[in-house]
Amino acid sequence: MGSRVARQDHAFKPLDFTRFQVRLAETTAEVEAAQALRYRIFYEEMTAVPSPEAQARRLDFDSYDPICDHLLVIDLERSNGAPNVVGTYRLLRRSVAEAHWGFYSAQEYDLSLLLEYPGEILEVGRSCVDPAYRPRGVMQMLWRGLAEYVQLYDVEVLFGCASFPGTEPDAMGRSLSYLHHFHLAPEPMRPRALQHHYVDMERVPLSGFDADAEFNELPPLIKGYLRLGGFVGDGAVVDRQFNTTDVCMIVRTDQVTEKYGRHYRRSGQESAGA
Domain boundaries, the chain: 15-272
Query: In this predicted structure, which of 8-22, 29-43, 62-76 has the lowest mean pLDDT?
Result: 8-22
Residue 269 has pLDDT above 70, yes or no: no
pLDDT tier at 81, thresholds 50, 70, 90: confident
- Global pTM value: 0.90
Q: What is the pLDDT of residue 259?
A: 81
Read off the pLDDT of each residue in 190-200 and give the average, rounded to a whole number: 98
* Cβ-Cβ contacts under 8 Å for 53 (sequence gap 6 or more): 1
What integer best gives the mean pLDDT of the chain?
Answer: 90
Per-residue pLDDT reduced to its tens digit, 112-151: 999 999 999 999 999 999 999 998 899 999 999 999 999 9
Q: Helix or strand or coil: residue 221?
A: helix
pLDDT computed for residue 151 by the predictor = 93
What percentage of the chain reaches a pLDDT higher than 90? 81
Residue 5 confidence class, pLDDT cut points 50, 70, 90: low
- How far, in Å, CA of 198 to CA of 234, rounded? 9
CATH T-level fold of 15-272: Aminopeptidase (3.40.630)
Residue 273 scores a pLDDT above 50:
no
Mean pLDDT, residues 227-251:
96
Assign 3-class secondary structure to 161-196: EEEEECCCHHHHHHHHHHHHHHHECCHHHCCEECCC
pLDDT of residue 8: 52
